[in-house]
Amino acid sequence: MRMRHSGDGAEVFRITGARQGLQDDVRGRQRRYVISMSVRTVSVVLAAVLWNVERHVAIVALVLGLVLPYIAVVIANAGRENAPGLPSTFVSTPSRPMITPPRQGDDEPTDRV
C-alpha cells in the first residue's frame, strides 16, 4: 500500500492493487499441490489396473504419474507474484509538458543578416 499527498495536503491511500495475504497465498499453493498429488495417485493406480487390459492408456497414465510430482513442486514453490490485471499500487501525478508549443509570432527566424 502506498500513499501520496494530494494538493490540499491530505494523504491518499490506494489498496486496489494490493497482493493477496501471505496466509491465503500459502493455503492456495497447498491446495493446488494436494490436487496435483491426488491426480498423480489416481494415475498410478489407473496404470496398475489397466496394465494388462489397455496398455496404451496405462503407459500414458504412468507417464502422467511420473511427471506430475515435478510440476506440482514447481507450482507449489512458485514465488508470490502480483496479479497482472490489477492497476498499479500508487496514484501517479500527471506530468506537465516540458516544451510548450511556439507562440503565434515566433514562427519567423530571428537570425537575419
How large is the average pLDDT for residues 31-57? 91
pLDDT for res 1: 45
**pLDDT of 18:** 64
Which pTM does this prediction carry?
0.52
Between 34 and 91, the higher pLDDT residue: 34
Helix (H) or strand (E) holding 25: helix 22-50
Residue 53 DSSP class = T
Place 75 in a pLDDT band, splitting at 50, 70 and 90.
confident
Residue 33 to residue 71: CA distance in whole angstroms: 9
User: What per-residue string of b and e applies to 7-18 under the rule 16 or more CB within 10 Å gives b?
Assistant: eeeeeeeeeeee
Domain boundaries, the chain: 20-81
| Contacts (Cβ under 8 Å, ≥6 apart) of 48 | 58
The reported pLDDT for the residue numbered 78 is: 75
Confidence at residue 47, expressed as pLDDT on a 0 to 100 scale: 92
CB atoms within 10 A of CB 72: 20
- Residue 95: the pLDDT is 73
Is residue 85 over pLDDT 80? no
What mean pLDDT comes out for the span 5-12?
A: 57
Q: Which amino acid is at 26?
A: V
